[in-house]
Structures are given as structure tokens and as C-alpha cells.
Structure 1
């Protein structure tokens, strides 16, 4: 693998039992953790290394309901959807996510952030296209909702390269192990 290739990273928060959102696709359970330190020490340095964002349509719609301002105006943003999106900030595509990521990895640039959701992340892991997973785990048990990892047909091996506690959140970074490691 070319060492100059861009990294594909999932960065996001999950509940202790692995959910991205509750049954209503809500993140309300997460918003109680308004920790400036994790934003300054984890998110901001991460985001400075990103110039491309990929998300699913549901994530995009939820994001736009939460904010009046588009949060990633200076990045190239792809939304996977069969329905047209009327936004100057995003490129709608119905291309399979693995094809899109393979094309983007071949182009020069910074890292590629997979914002959501679980089906996209799981599909990319199955295609060995997620290089890094960085998650902030909360002490919440949601019991059901939208899982980060959906059903996958094969196992992948990641190694822990970083872990730090921020209040009640644990920030953990995993790197995909090479098949020969």
C-alpha cells in the first residue's frame, strides 16, 4: 500500500453498548457531554487533518436539523443518497461507498472522515478501507438504536494506539493492523 495515500477515519461517539443514536435517531443522550477539553485536544486536531467528509443521507438530514449553519463549509462533503440534495456544500452521490473511497484515496489531499453511519462504516471495514477508528465512548447504555458496527461477513483486526479519559468519556484510537502483522 502506498504510504502517501490518504487515511480513511471513522471519528465519532458511541454509547457503552455501541450505539451511535437511539431508537429515534436522536443524539440527545450525547449532548449532555459538552466537554471543551475533548473538543480542543481531540476533535480540533483531528479535524485539522481532514479535507473530505463522507456521510449517509440520514446523517446529513439529522445534521441539518440540528444546525442552521453547515458545519463543514471548507471541506469536500459527499452524501450518499439516491435523492437529490439542494446544497452548495455537498456532492450527492449514489455511487457505492467502497468505490467512492477507493477513488478519493487515489487523489492527493488530507484524511477522509467517515461521519456516519453504521452501514457505511461496516461496509468500508469489510472492504479493508477504514484505516483508523477513533471513538469517544460514553458510559450510557442505550439498549437499542443505531449500531456503529452492523453485521459484517468477516473479522478485522485493529490495534489500540491511543486512549485518554476526558471526564466521563474515553477517547480511543484504533489503527487497522496490516495482514502480515
Structure 2
């Protein structure tokens, strides 16, 4: 069965973006080494991306060209999306991911959205978290984890330092 993974960067205090949904605080880091040694190997393991509408809209403000043209891409949204690279999803994320995991393919990348990640963790549908932690303290913004009621049991697979960034991977521990 396919795995559902979150891969992304957060501030030291757990924020994906600042109050203005901006990632400007993240772009100051020289990321050549982490791209080669972490992101590129990770990206080879996925063939599907899933993101929320806000993440999709923010992505389009960062780049002129959609970066995931060679994958299946799903955006959760009630509003219409005009993009040849996107399939719009208008159903609860936990139902959609449960169906998607049963289909053949590589892993499924949850690109962004703290509410999406938290909902999937709440429903035991995230298999791993690979997080790059920066030394920034934003104080407020968009949190990666948002009101999780259950306490999933993750195990640490590895930790690697890339200058000021820490790359850490956790996997959901199998139930005994």
C-alpha cells in the first residue's frame, strides 16, 4: 500500500508560514545541499501531491511555472481551479487519502496545509513526516500541527544537519 508523507520546512516554533502566509523567512537559506541530499531523493519516491487551496495559491505566487508537472496533483477546494496540472477534490481529506492509498503508485506527498496534516494524523493516515527545522522563531503564523486529539506514536528514522537547517524524518510506529 502507498504511503502518505509530509515533507516541508517549519520554523523552530513550528510554523509553516508567517501571519501573511509568506515563506520569505525561509528563502534566506542556501539550500543547494539539502536539495541534493534530501529533497531530490525524497521527490523520487512520490508520484502524487496533495495540497490545500491556500497552499496552491501561495505556490503560484512563488513561481511562474507549476513545479510538479510530472506528478498527479490534487488540490482540496470548493472554488473552481483552472489548471491543466491540477485535479480538484471536494471531499473530506481523510476519505480522499484513504481511497488514494489503495490505488497503485508511489508515495503521496502532502505538500502543505497544517489543517490537512493534522486531520491526517488524527485519522492515522500520515505514514511519515520529513521536516526541515530552521532556527527562526516566528511567534505566530500557520502552524504545522493544529489541534490533534490523539497521540500517534512516531519513531525517529534519522536526523541530519545542513548548515542552519535540521532535516529530521519520523515514521508512524506500527501498531503491535
TM-score relative to the length of structure 2: 0.99
Q: 1:35 is matched with which residue: 25, 31, 35?
A: 31
1:20 aligned onto 2:16: yes
Shift of 1:85: 0.1
Verify: 1:65 aligned to 2:94, yes or no.
no
Quote the RMSD (CA, aligned, Å).
0.6
Q: 1:168 deviation in Å?
A: 0.3
Number of aligned residues: 176
**What is the CA-CA distance between 1:127 and the residue it aligns to?**
0.5
Q: Deviations over 1:91-150 (max 9, x none)?
A: 011111111111111111000000110000000001100000000000000000000000
In the alignment, structure 2 segments of 5+ residues that lack a partner are none
Please state if 1:11 is matched with 2:22.
Answer: no
Any idea what the Cα deviations from partners look like across 1:10-40, whole Å, max 9, x if unmatched? Answer: 0000000000000000000000012201000
Structure 1 stretches of 4+ moved >2 Å = none
Q: 1:46 aligns with which of 38, 42, 46?
A: 42
In 2: Cα distance, 1:132 partner to 1:176 partner: 6
Residue by residue over 1:38-64, the C-alpha shift from the partner in whole angstroms, topping out at 9 and shown as x without a partner, is: 000000000011100000000000001
Q: Distance in 1 between matches of 2:96 and 2:30?
A: 33
Q: 1:167 maps to which residue?
A: 163
SS in 2 for 1:136: strand
Task: Output the TM-score relative to the length of structure 1.
Answer: 0.96
The correspondence of residues 124-143 of structure 1 with structure 2, limited to 5 A, is 124-143=120-139
Q: How does 1:80-119 map to 2 (within 5 A)?
A: 80-119=76-115
Instruction: Work out the CA distance in 2 between the residues paired with 1:59 and 1:35.
Output: 21
1:121 aligns with 2:124: no
Separation of aligned partners in 1, 2:175 and 2:137: 33
